[in-house]
């Protein structure tokens, strides 16, 4: 442990800052500080530490807002304050940058909140924005990718530059709304295809119909769409209708440029 | 013998031989002195630059002729998808680009994260900057990522340990490394003053100083310190680059927010420093938030820096 660790923990933990004033011996014991280190730590002005702590939280919320702008707008200030106060910014989550780290922490945080404290569409909206953010950051698909229960029937299907997601609520309309916190949430399940333009690095969102969603949701492990395409291309058109829909969906997506063939 | 000393000794020897040849022994000592203290002199003079932010991209390119160079936040290009690094390379085709890190956390006990250094090294190799920079502080400790510049325990031992580490980083990256003084958000009764700590650090490595004059001013106001005394105490010949920015006032003091034009007090510090003989290779205006609708506000700061620099060079 030591002085630096003590400073870092004190700055992100209200209780430790209180203890530093009321029971400094506990801090000394917890962080194994020498008498000199303890003298140094106690020489800092508590109000300055508080101020810096608030600054750290404000900065974290700035990062969160960059990553999940609509989600942050849709949620009450109290939840954001709690998030910044109750979650610890651990170093291990930082390798892809602060914006993604805070977005992931936040979505993990809201999963454990009672439904009554959140707008009904909040988890969908957050997962939609997080998927966009992760795709933009080129995070590899979990291997093997599995159907994840985002809302009850949401499924994430991953290939290198593409994700397919389905949500209970119309997340596209929510993100396009001027103020997502006002008015009734757009109803109806929405399937979207997120595609990262590998050259420009921009993540594009396409609404997709049931047949396209059904086609791509068959692809529950990360695999190249070209493989998928080649594997179904020779299929007899008289084969079962689902395979036919799959073929048509992929062909249309390729023709429209939503998807591109990838060569190994 | 480190690289700085080795280069300086070669310069000194050449000077001594030349002076001796002309039997002008009186200047031999001054040549040695100057050579030993001139490790930064091999660096190019960049002029007056601006901190690159995406929000300013269009204005920067529209006023390209008024901006001598750009400083970019290293982590914006070294973390995340590879196309971000490509964006940095694109900038480097049009400007001299200096990578400025905020998350190396050189002051954290132990070695600097090797993954971080690999990313930085790749970026530096791609854009070929004359130097790169980070902060004299820590941002991570005890498994916590503070994400903010946190003051170090200012002891001689810590200064020397950080100096040794900075020297290793510089040698690994292969480009001069300069470190910046921070605006302290809290302070402890440490063994050394900030100026003493910086001197001790610089004495034990070959790295340069990125002097943030706004931070000097903010610390002087928030902790009742003497800014001029601070400037008199640090080795001005090690100042490679200067940061200039405007902060904001809060009920608790000044905040280094980079959100407003450079205040008069900071311009006065710049004038004082340059007239005292500092010869920085680059001055830079930082603006990170509350971007002005009219880019002229930033151009005014750039021009003022340029004028103060020119006036000081003329008078010196």
Which of B82, B142, B147 is opposite residue A98, by nearest beta carbon?
A: B147
Task: Give the number of other CB atoms < 10 A from CB of residue A37.
Answer: 20
Chain A interface includes B235 (CB < 8 A): no
Query: Distance, in angstroms, between A171 CA and closest chain B CA?
Result: 25
CB A126 within 8 A of CB A106: yes
How much is the pLDDT for B316? 74
- Chain B residues with beta carbon closer than 8 angstroms to that of A1: 142
Chain A interface includes B160 (CB < 8 A): no
Which of B107, B109, B145 is opposite residue A91, by nearest beta carbon?
A: B145
Q: With residue B183 as reference, give the H or E element that holds it.
A: none
A55 → chain B, closest CA residue: B148
The Cα B272–Cα B307 span in angstroms is 14
Name which of A2, A3, A4, A39 to mutate to probe chain B: the one with the most chain B Cβ atoms within 10 A of its Cβ.
A4
Residue A263 reports pLDDT greater than 80: no
**Would the CB atoms of B81 and A1 count as touching at under 8 Å?**
no
Q: With residue B96 as reference, give the H or E element that holds it.
A: strand B96-100
- Let me know how long chain B is: 316
Query: What's the half-sphere exposure (Cβ side, CA atoms, 13 Å) at A31?
Result: 25
- How many helices, marked H, and strands, marked E, lie in chain B? 12, 11
B183 → chain A, closest CA residue: A52
B190 → chain A, closest CA residue: A40
Which of A4, A55, A138 is opposite residue B109, by nearest beta carbon?
A: A4
How much is the pLDDT for A148? 36
B109 → chain A, closest CA residue: A4
How much is the pLDDT for A93? 62
CA geometry: angle B36, B39, B40, nearest 5 deg: 145
Q: Is the peptide bond between A144 and the residue preceding it cis, with omega within 30 degrees of 0? A: yes
Q: What is the DSSP letter of B209?
A: E
A98 → chain B, closest CA residue: B147
How much is the pLDDT for A207? 86
The Cα B136–Cα B210 span in angstroms is 10
Strand, helix or coil for residue B217: helix
Residue A139 reports pLDDT greater than 60: no
The Cα B186–Cα A68 span in angstroms is 31
CB A68 within 8 A of CB A129: yes
Query: Distance, in angstroms, between A66 CA and closest chain B CA?
Result: 13
Question: pLDDT (tens digit, 0 to 9) for every residue of chain B, 316 residues total?
Answer: 444 444 444 444 544 454 444 444 444 434 444 444 445 668 999 999 999 999 999 999 999 999 999 999 999 999 877 778 888 999 999 999 999 999 999 999 999 999 999 999 999 999 999 999 999 999 999 999 999 999 999 999 999 999 999 999 999 999 999 999 999 999 999 999 999 999 999 999 999 999 999 999 999 999 999 999 999 999 999 999 999 999 999 888 898 889 999 999 999 999 999 999 999 999 999 999 899 999 999 999 999 999 999 999 888 7
Which of A4, A5, A89 is opposite residue B147, by nearest beta carbon?
A: A89
Query: Distance, in angstroms, between B107 CA and closest chain A CA?
Result: 9
**Would the CB atoms of A51 and B75 count as touching at under 8 Å?**
no
pLDDT digits (tens, 9 = 90+) for A20-51: 999 999 999 999 999 999 999 999 999 999 99
The Cα A210–Cα B271 span in angstroms is 68
Q: What are phi and psi of B217, to 5 degrees?
A: -65, -45
**Would the CB atoms of A101 and B145 count as touching at under 8 Å?**
yes
Task: Give the Å distances, CA to CA, from B171 to A61, A144, B4, B42, B206.
Answer: 37, 41, 11, 16, 10
Chain A interface includes B145 (CB < 8 A): yes
CA geometry: angle B43, B47, B49, nearest 5 deg: 110
Q: Enumerate residues 6+ apart whose C-beta is below 8 A from A56.
A: A11, A12, A89, B146, B147, B148
How much is the pLDDT for A244? 61
A101 → chain B, closest CA residue: B145
How much is the pLDDT for A97? 82
pLDDT digits (tens, 9 = 90+) for A204-243: 888 887 766 766 665 544 444 545 544 444 444 444 555 5
The Cα B198–Cα A116 span in angstroms is 54
**Would the CB atoms of A90 and B81 count as touching at under 8 Å?**
no
- ipTM of this complex > 0.95? no
């Amino acid at each position: 442990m030591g002085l630096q660790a003590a400073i870092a923990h004190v700055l992100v933990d209200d209780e430790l800052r209180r203890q530093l004033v009321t029971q400094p011996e506990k801090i000394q014991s917890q962080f194994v500080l020498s008498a000199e280190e303890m003298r140094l730590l106690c020489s800092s002005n508590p109000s300055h530490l508080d101020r810096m702590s608030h600054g750290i939280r404000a900065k974290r919320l700035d990062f969160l807002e960059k990553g999940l702008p609509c989600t942050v707008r849709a949620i009450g200030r109290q939840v954001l304050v709690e998030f910044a106060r109750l979650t610890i910014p651990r170093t291990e989550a930082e390798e892809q940058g602060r914006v993604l780290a805070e977005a992931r922490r936040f979505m993990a945080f809201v999963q454990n909140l009672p439904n009554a404290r959140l707008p009904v569409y909040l988890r969908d909206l957050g997962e939609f924005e997080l998927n966009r953010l992760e795709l933009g950051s080129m995070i590899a698909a979990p291997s093997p990718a599995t159907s994840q229960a985002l809302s009850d029937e949401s499924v994430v299907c991953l290939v290198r530059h593409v994700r397919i997601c389905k949500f209970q609520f119309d997340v596209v309309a929510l993100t396009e709304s001027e103020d997502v916190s006002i008015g009734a949430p757009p109803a109806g399940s929405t399937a979207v295809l997120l595609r990262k333009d590998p050259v420009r690095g921009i993540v594009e969102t396409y609404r997709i119909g049931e047949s396209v969603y059904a086609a791509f949701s068959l692809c529950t492990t990360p695999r190249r769409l070209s493989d998928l395409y080649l594997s179904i291309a020779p299929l007899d058109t008289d084969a079962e209708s689902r395979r036919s829909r799959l073929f048509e969906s992929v062909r249309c997506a390729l023709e429209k440029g939503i998807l591109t063939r990838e060569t190994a | 013998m480190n690289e700085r000393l080795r280069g300086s000794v070669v310069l000194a020897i050449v000077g001594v031989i030349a002076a001796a040849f002309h039997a002008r022994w009186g200047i031999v000592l001054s040549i040695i002195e100057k050579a030993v203290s001139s490790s930064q002199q091999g660096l190019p003079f960049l002029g007056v630059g601006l901190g690159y932010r995406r929000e300013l991209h269009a204005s920067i390119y529209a006023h390209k002729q008024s901006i001598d160079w750009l400083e970019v936040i290293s982590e914006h290009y070294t973390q995340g998808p590879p196309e971000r690094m490509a964006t940095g390379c694109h900038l480097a085709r049009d400007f001299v680009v200096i990578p400025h890190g905020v998350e190396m956390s050189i002051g954290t006990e132990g070695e600097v994260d090797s993954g971080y250094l690999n990313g930085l090294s790749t970026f530096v190799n791609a854009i070929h900057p004359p130097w790169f920079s980070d902060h004299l502080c820590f941002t991570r400790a005890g498994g916590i990522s503070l994400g903010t510049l946190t003051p170090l325990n200012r002891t001689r031992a810590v200064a020397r340990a950080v100096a040794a580490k900075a020297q290793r980083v510089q040698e690994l990256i292969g480009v001069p490394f300069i470190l910046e003084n921070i605006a302290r958000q809290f302070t402890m009764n440490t063994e050394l003053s900030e100026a003493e700590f910086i001197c001790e650090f610089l004495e034990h490595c070959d790295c340069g100083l990125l002097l943030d004059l706004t931070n000097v001013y903010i610390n002087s106001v928030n902790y009742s310190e003497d800014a001029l005394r601070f400037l008199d105490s640090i080795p001005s010949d090690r100042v490679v680059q200067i940061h200039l920015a405007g902060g904001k006032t809060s009920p608790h003091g000044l905040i280094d927010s980079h959100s407003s034009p450079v205040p008069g007090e900071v311009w006065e510090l710049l004038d004082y420093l340059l007239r005292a003989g500092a010869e920085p290779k680059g001055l830079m205006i930082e603006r990170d938030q509350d971007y002005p609708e009219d880019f002229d506000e930033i151009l005014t700061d750039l021009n003022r820096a340029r004028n103060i620099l020119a006036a000081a060079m003329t008078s010196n």
